[in-house]
């Protein structure tokens, strides 16, 4: 992810940048197994730190929207795994 919220490579995901340092990742239906929990791992690039992150249960259609806020706008890498 670039600091402005544009993605370098984000298959099955739409990323929004609603406020300074905050990003929402929406994964399309069918990406994860319904009833599991999506576990995101965020890795900021630069002199920032994570102030909050959230991920909920995967919806019945296999979609999920994890989010993260850093101490400022930042480029970052992420991975998301589904857990039973």
**Digit-coded pLDDT (tens) for 2-27:** 777 677 766 778 889 999 999 999 99
Tokens 């690039």: give the residue: 45
Predicted TM-score of the model (pTM): 0.84
Q: Which pLDDT tens digit goes with each residue over 27-59?
A: 999 989 998 888 899 999 999 999 999 987 899
Output phi, psi for 5, to 5 deg. Answer: 95, 0
Residues 6+ apart with CB under 8 A from 69: 19, 21, 22, 23, 50, 51, 52, 53
Give yes or no for a contact between 32 and 26, defined as CB atoms under 8 angstroms apart.
Answer: no
Q: How many CB atoms lie within 10 A of CB 31?
A: 18
């Amino acid at each position: 992810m670039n600091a402005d919220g544009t993605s370098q490579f984000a298959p099955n995901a739409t990323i929004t940048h609603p406020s300074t340092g905050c990003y929402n990742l929406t994964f399309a239906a069918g990406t994860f197994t319904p009833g599991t929990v999506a576990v995101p791992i965020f890795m900021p690039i630069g002199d920032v730190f994570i102030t909050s992150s959230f991920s909920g249960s995967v919806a019945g259609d296999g979609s999920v929207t994890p989010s993260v806020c850093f101490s400022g706008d930042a480029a970052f890498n992420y991975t998301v795994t589904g857990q039973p």
